[in-house]
Chain A
């Protein structure tokens, strides 16, 4: 059972109150981009064993989207943060580094 703290309403919401929104921090390649970029944007996703960044929505609650950093192997949650960012904030990265030194995820480390 995954329990995430919603950064908007501040409750510790368990998994059945949330809806998963897939990988976080995707950059959209829409009309005008190359076929290769569009293909990668549409289909290519991380599938790590370890540190992962995801989007979640507190659907049976305040209804807001937010980001979560967690470990896919141990289900440990490193932290949740606002949806209005394009990369993980410093304190989240530091929290992960404290527990998983040398972690990398896509272009982030």
Chain B
């Protein structure tokens, strides 16, 4: 079998912030009743995290779980382990009205790091990214110019952005332009 590679294969750009495609990330879309105990246990077993509350992101490196909507979670696991963890999850959820699907290869993930990381994303999404409004531990689904995207902060100067793989090239070009040297705005 051929070796899987990510959409842009670790491409990166250095500007007012560093923009990089971080490669393959295992992702499982989990839909169901988020107050369900069986579902909560399946999430705990797969990621070690509790079920996030509204707009909460509980991420540690390449493992974690983020809130996507009132009945949807995005479970992050290492890419190599996604099949085994998905099987365990599907097995645990077999008696419940829930659905878990591997969407790893349908997505691309970027990291924006540096003092101006908030500004780079702030130019593209209609979201208040000031430190008062957006902090690590929160997820926001929105749009990046013309395509859908979700993002959260790993720390005060690092953002992680998830988009559809088919739009990866577009999003990378957007981020590259937004991170052009000398393009600091100075609002955040």
Question: Cβ of B70 and Cβ of A8 under 8 Å apart?
Answer: yes
Chain A contact residue count (CB 8 A cutoff): 14
Query: Does B115 have its Cβ within 8 Å of any Cβ on chain A?
Result: no
Q: Which of A9, A16, A17, A64 is close to B55, meaning CB atoms less than 8 Å apart?
A: A9
Which of A37-45, A55-63, A97-105 makes up part of the contact surface? A55-63
Query: Does B165 have its Cβ within 8 Å of any Cβ on chain A?
Result: no
Which residues, 86 to 111 on B, are CB-close (under 8 Å) to A?
none
Query: Does A10 have its Cβ within 8 Å of any Cβ on chain B?
Result: yes
Interface centre among A8, A11, A13, A14 (most CB of B within 10 A): A11
Question: Cβ of A16 and Cβ of B143 under 8 Å apart?
Answer: yes
Query: Does B126 have its Cβ within 8 Å of any Cβ on chain A?
Result: yes
Question: Cβ of B54 and Cβ of A17 under 8 Å apart?
Answer: no
* Residues of chain A lying within 8 A (CB to CB) of residue B68: 62
Q: Which size class do B's interface residues fall under? A: 10 to 19
Query: Does B176 have its Cβ within 8 Å of any Cβ on chain A?
Result: no
**B128 nearest CB neighbor, chain A only:** A12
Q: How far is the CA of A30 from the CA of B144 in the complex (A)?
A: 39
Query: Does B41 have its Cβ within 8 Å of any Cβ on chain A?
Result: no
Query: Does B148 have its Cβ within 8 Å of any Cβ on chain A?
Result: yes
Question: Cβ of A60 and Cβ of B54 under 8 Å apart?
Answer: no
Q: How far is the CA of A62 from the CA of B34 in the complex (A)?
A: 15
Q: How far is the CA of A9 from the CA of B150 in the complex (A)?
A: 13
Q: Mind listing 25 A-B residue pairs with CB under 8 Å?
A: A8-B69, A8-B70, A9-B54, A9-B55, A9-B69, A9-B70, A9-B141, A10-B55, A11-B55, A11-B140, A13-B126, A14-B126, A16-B143, A17-B126, A60-B141, A60-B142, A60-B148, A61-B141, A62-B68, A62-B69, A62-B70, A62-B72, A62-B141, A64-B69, A64-B70
Interface contacts beyond A9-B55, A60-B148, A62-B68: sample of 16 additional A-B pairs, CB < 8 Å, sorted by A: A8-B69, A9-B54, A9-B69, A9-B70, A9-B141, A10-B54, A10-B55, A11-B55, A11-B140, A16-B143, A17-B126, A60-B142, A61-B142, A62-B141, A63-B69, A64-B70
